[in-house]
Amino acid sequence: MPRFARLQIILVVIICLFLVAPVEAKKTPKKQNKSVAPKAKAVTPAIKSIVLMDMTTGKILQSRDANLAMQPASITKVLSLYIVYDTVYAGKARWSDRVRISPRAARTGGTRMYLEPNTEATLGELVTGMAVVSANDASVAVAEHLGGTVEAFVEQMNIQAKKLGMTQSCFKTPNGLPAKGQYTTATDIVKLSTAYLERFPASLTIHSMQKYTYHGITQPNRNRLLGHYPGVDGLKTGYVGKAGWHIAVTAKHGDTRLLAVLMGANNPKFRNKEAARLLDKGFAMVDGKKAVVMEKTLPAGRLL
């Protein structure tokens, strides 16, 4: 082969090597990337906030993220009920008072007593509906009756909340239906529930009712632990999409009364199960005894 031809071949080979080398260099990082482990996704807690309290001594037995702010949902009704009881006990209202049902109250959505506009119900009937079936329409009717307007009643709620030391709460509705700027914490719900039950212990007569019938319509209590967990006699549940499923539940064994507040559960079944488990733990800590609860006896039901 002529010398010139050999030189041409060598030159072609050298040029090819320079062209291929960068391509291979670019491919190498891609192979390395495949070996990198994917980032782990953050796990959302099944319950956002928890407080367990021995109401007999006032001692907090367990707490987690208790100051996390979220929508209060229907637990708001405990504050509305506090004002109603306070008004009645002060002699400014009676359970037998007739309350006019406005169109605004009647058309309120969510859980209801199915009140008809321009009819009447007694204050006692409406309060029972608020406590047992979590009636939003009854809450509006009561707010209008005692406050003159819903807005004026809500102002009273926030004034009362401050008096109770609820420094991490702001209420915009009397029933807990979603509203911009409305929030509370498990810590504040403990303060509210404790004050409510200590001042108005007779309210448990209503809160412990497992069902309520009004105008031929029977509805179960939204607190599904009633009748399924030993000693449970209150208090209130709630649900709103952005916050999740809440419960403030109280139970008494002997001389010991516990209060468990769980907020932001993923679903009602898990909320009920964890509330029962928390009460079990509390009674075991205080009394050294455990109240055994069969999980299958706790109905899930998409109820507040």
Whichever domain contains 124, its CATH number is 3.40.710.10
In a domain, 30, yes or no: no
Confidence at residue 58, expressed as pLDDT on a 0 to 100 scale: 95
Q: Exposed, middle or buried: residue 291 (CB in 10 Å: 0-12, 13-18, 19+)?
A: middle
Distance CA 156, CA 239 (A): 23
**Residue 242: per-residue pLDDT:** 87
pLDDT of residue 205: 97
The total number of structural domains that make up the chain: 1
Residue 156 maps to a domain: yes
Q: What is the mean pLDDT of each run of 10 residues along the chain (304 residues)?
A: 51 45 40 49 75 96 97 98 98 98 98 98 98 98 98 98 98 97 98 98 97 97 96 97 95 96 96 96 82 42 36
The answer to whether residue 13 sits within a structural domain is no
**27 domain residue, yes or no:** no
Per-residue pLDDT, 289: 60
Residues forming the active site:
74, 77, 134
Number of H helices, E strands in the chain: 9, 9
- What's the token pair of residue 257? 């009364």
In the three-class reduction of DSSP (H, G, I as helix; E, B as strand; rest coil), residue 261 is classed as strand
Give the pLDDT confidence score for residue 303 in this predicted structure. 36
Q: Is residue 155 part of a domain?
A: yes
| CB-based contacts of 221, cutoff 8 Å, min separation 6 | 132, 133, 209, 210, 211, 212
Dihedral angle over CA of 206, 208, 210, 213, nearest 10: 0
- Judge contact between 117 and 102, C-beta under 8 A: yes
pTM recorded for the entire structure: 0.82
Check residue 71 and give its pLDDT.
97
Residue 41 forms part of a structural domain: no
Q: CA-CA distance, 69 to 294, in Å (whole number)?
A: 32
- For the chain, how many residues are written? 304
Residue 39 domain-assigned (yes or no)? no
Domain with 226, as residue range(s), is: 49-297
- Nearest alpha-carbon partner for 204 in 226, 234, 232, 231: 234
Domain assignment present for 288: yes
- How far apart, in whole angstroms, are the C-alpha atoms of residue 243 and residue 177? 12
